[in-house]
Structure 1
Amino acid sequence: MKLSWTSSFRAVALMGATATATNLYVSSYGGTITSLSLAVSNDGTYSLEQLAVNDGAAPSPSFLLLNTENNILYATDENVDGGNGSISAYTTSSDGSLTRIDRQPTLPGTVHLAFYNDRKNLVIAHYSGSSVSSWAIQPNGSLSHLQSFTFTQPPRPNPRQDSPHPHGVFLDPTADYVFSPDLGADQIRIFHINKKTGELDIFPSLNVTSESGPRHATFLTTADDTTYLFIINELGNSVSSYKIEYEAAGPQFTEVSWTGILGNNTIPANVTAAEIVITPDQKYILTSSRGDSLFNLTDPLHTSANLTSDSLQSWTIDQKDASLSLDQIFPAGGKIPRQFSINKNGTFAAVGLQGSARVAIITRDEVTNKFGDIVAEFDVPGEVTSIIWDADETEVVHYY
């Protein structure tokens, strides 16, 4: 299946536009965190410019998280060649420079992190380490280790599920629980938060469809205070949703919806679903898939070359039952859109393209839920693993 899209790379004109800029931070398996400036000129033309490069989280920076209250940036190092990982903390500056204030060794395979307990604590998912760890954040932003939970299981039929592989950590809307999708175990692991100590207690897990391989998650709380969990499943190439009811024994789940990552369209071989984000207005879900190669574009950075692109998907949430309807499949701007984030107004998506060693900025209409144009791209050495907006633009979409 190939989808058509006009492959021109053009600026978007803004009525009454003035010259403004915002910063973004990009992690890469090349060993660096790159600070970029996204600027829009008076004529509405967008551009990305490199401000600074920091190698303090080498060798394999895998995910970034910014505390928007004190502008401290946290970076995980997965250390993909083996051995322990690490987590680093940095102060940020408007010129894009980062100053490291702490670095702590971790269990292997640090791939994702989230704040909890009013940002007094951090929790980390360790993919290759089959673990989840908790950390205390000191007043200056430095870290101290609290707990580690290491999980075991016999190998499952899918070779990607040879052992537990926690792939993400997410604070639920009550701020009482941390949810961790475990790709290797087909579980969402549940941890209750002790708000006095910051420690986590293991609660019964949610068992999901066999060989679905849950990767990341997000939440919706509707106007009538019903809470839903949305999961993107890497191995099953699907998005599933569950109604959550909170009881004394912990969260209880009822599955309410399932859809393929490309809706009713055929999913090409070797595709793996990647990221899921809920929009700031809580009306829409955005996702990405890697390896579908649905689009052929003219490369905006090398105009004589063609560019094969994987896709992003936009979905409308039915507020009555949390089912999803596909609105659009749109080019991600390159290969392997491992991660993306949206700005606080929901009008831009910043996409980290691992396979293209590139980031792309894409406009989005927050009313129609349609992506519009790829307005800026920038090549970053190595395999891009994450991209986030600076404090003045970041919308908190992975924690509450």
Structure 2
Amino acid sequence: MKQKIYSSIIAFLLTINLFSQNTYVFLGSYNRDKTAEAIQVYQLDTLSGKLTKFTSVKNVVNPSYLTISPNGKYIYACTDTKTPNAGSVSSFEFNPSAKTLTFLNSQRSGGENPVYASVHKNGKWLANANYTEGSVSVYPLLENGKIDSIAQNFQYVDGSVNKDRQTRSHVHSAVFSPQCDYLFLPDLGADKIRCYAFDENLKKPLIETKNPFTKTDLEAGPRDFTFHPNQKWGYCIEEMAGQISVYNYENGVLNKIQRIATHPDKIKEGFESSDIHISPDGKFLYATNRGKENNIAIFSINENGLLKSIDYQSTLGKHPRVFALDESGKFLVASNVLTGNVIVFKRDSKTGLLKKIGKQIKMENVSCVQIKQI
């Protein structure tokens, strides 16, 4: 009897905690114009999947990629992207009670066309990747959420074999390892996944390692990277080749164990792969393709980390750039740049398959989606 009472109390407290938190969807864009909404925030109904407009912000140009602080209080954006001789990272304070998203400050990105940003798990460091000039910058984050001046900036000049797209380095993402003791930099231009050790206690936290990079296949064009929840495997999506390379991971070292196509066998050209994420339960991996096929490739993950293709789900738009899974793994939200629409899919936790639910959201040139329960 006592056990049943305790179980009921625990279930009740969990329910209270569930409903005391809200899930928000943050959308970035290539708005091109400060008078247009640059970032939009929606509230996600975790029962129906419905998105309801919550707040937005203007007066910022091309916040093409967003990332969220661990505590959900601050939003960091790659801004002034695809703008000649420009590039910045910007901070915003998110206040759900007041329904506001308030600009805090900006810093130069240390390279043209910033495309990706990550926050350290301690909330005190920001790393961003600059595509056009091939560089990485690291910044301290202040207690009030503002971005301090650049602590380190490394630029690269080496390219690879494709004369159209790889004449020089193009760093496309900056991804912390599961313990945030390493920073990985997929470099589309050089066919490398660069790596630094990261010491959060140093004023200049990036430290060169004995293994400064992992070489990918030629003309792979590594773009983005993610780690499995068990921290043993890493997965790199290759934009140019349309492949995913799977690696065993330990202490900053990657050893490839598989390479598998992200697109259907019938598609031989006219595609680009873009984003990659793993379900919270670690059972499924999702990756987006753009071009002739605008879809999400769905893979199961077996016991040794290898992938098996199981299905493709249309994103119901053109040019999906970034998508996100909510923290429960119940929903996947995809953004389509060229059609300017955002689609919510419900995920089957047993099969990994996706099903569209609710109404689509329209946002011109929407380029990024992030989800956070706060």
TM category (shorter chain) comes to 0.7 to 0.9
The number of residue pairs the alignment matches comes to 344
Number of the residue aligned with 2:300: 316
Residue 262 of structure 1 and its aligned partner are, at CA, apart by 2.4
Contact conserved, 1:186 with 1:207, CA < 8 A, in 2? yes
Number of the residue aligned with 1:218: 226
Are the structure 2 counterparts of residues 190 and 159 from structure 1 closer, same or farther at C-alpha, using a change threshold of 3 Å? same
Number of the residue aligned with 1:272: 272
Task: Please state if 1:292 is matched with 2:292.
Answer: yes
Higher mean alpha-carbon deviation, 63-72 vs 188-197, is at 63-72
Are the structure 2 counterparts of residues 207 and 78 from structure 1 closer, same or farther at C-alpha, using a change threshold of 3 Å? farther
Q: Secondary structure at the match of 1:333?
A: coil
Picking from 131, 141, 145, the partner of 1:141 is: 145
| 1-structure distance, mates of 2:342, 2:72 | 26
Number of the residue aligned with 2:16: none
Number of the residue aligned with 2:105: 102
Residue 96 of structure 1 and its aligned partner are, at CA, apart by 4.2
Residue 78 of structure 1 and its aligned partner are, at CA, apart by 4.2
| 2-structure distance, mates of 1:26, 1:117 | 22
| 2-structure distance, mates of 1:45, 1:314 | 23
Residue 292 of structure 1 and its aligned partner are, at CA, apart by 2.8
| 2-structure distance, mates of 1:390, 1:345 | 10
Calculate the aligned-residue CA RMSD, in Å: 2.1
Name the % identity: 24
CA distances 1:99-120 after superposition (whole Å, capped 9, x unpaired): 1111112221110011226221
| 2-structure distance, mates of 1:221, 1:360 | 25
Q: How does 1:382-397 map to 2 (within 5 A)?
A: 383-392=365-374
Picking from 348, 351, 358, the partner of 1:368 is: 351
Are the structure 2 counterparts of residues 269 and 118 from structure 1 closer, same or farther at C-alpha, using a change threshold of 3 Å? same
Q: How does 1:217-256 map to 2 (within 5 A)?
A: 217-220=225-228, 222=230, 227-246=232-251, 251-256=252-257
Number of the residue aligned with 2:208: 202
Residue 158 of structure 1 and its aligned partner are, at CA, apart by 3.8
Contact conserved, 2:159 with 2:166, CA < 8 A, in 1? no
Contact conserved, 2:49 with 2:357, CA < 8 A, in 1? no
Higher strand content, 1 or 2? 1
Contact conserved, 1:133 with 1:146, CA < 8 A, in 2? yes
Larger RCO of the pair (alpha carbons < 8 Å, separation 6+): 1
Task: Please state if 1:333 is matched with 2:316.
Answer: yes
Are the structure 2 counterparts of residues 22 and 221 from structure 1 closer, same or farther at C-alpha, using a change threshold of 3 Å? closer
Contact conserved, 1:79 with 1:109, CA < 8 A, in 2? yes
Residue 318 of structure 1 and its aligned partner are, at CA, apart by 1.5
Task: Please state if 1:182 is matched with 2:187.
Answer: yes
Contact conserved, 1:277 with 1:286, CA < 8 A, in 2? yes
Residue 363 of structure 1 and its aligned partner are, at CA, apart by 0.7
- Normalised by the length of structure 1, the TM-score is 0.81
> Unaligned regions of 5+ residues in structure 1, if any?
1-17, 294-309, 393-400
Number of the residue aligned with 1:50: 53
| 2-structure distance, mates of 1:266, 1:164 | 31
Letter of the 1:202 counterpart: E
Residue 46 of structure 1 and its aligned partner are, at CA, apart by 4.9
- Normalised by the length of structure 2, the TM-score is 0.86
Letter of the 1:253 counterpart: L
| 1-structure distance, mates of 2:198, 2:254 | 19
Number of the residue aligned with 2:11: none
| 1-structure distance, mates of 2:339, 2:214 | 35
| 2-structure distance, mates of 1:221, 1:345 | 13
Task: Please state if 1:343 is matched with 2:326.
Answer: yes
| 1-structure distance, mates of 2:25, 2:334 | 11
Letter of the 2:181 counterpart: D
Task: Please state if 1:34 is matched with 2:55.
Answer: no
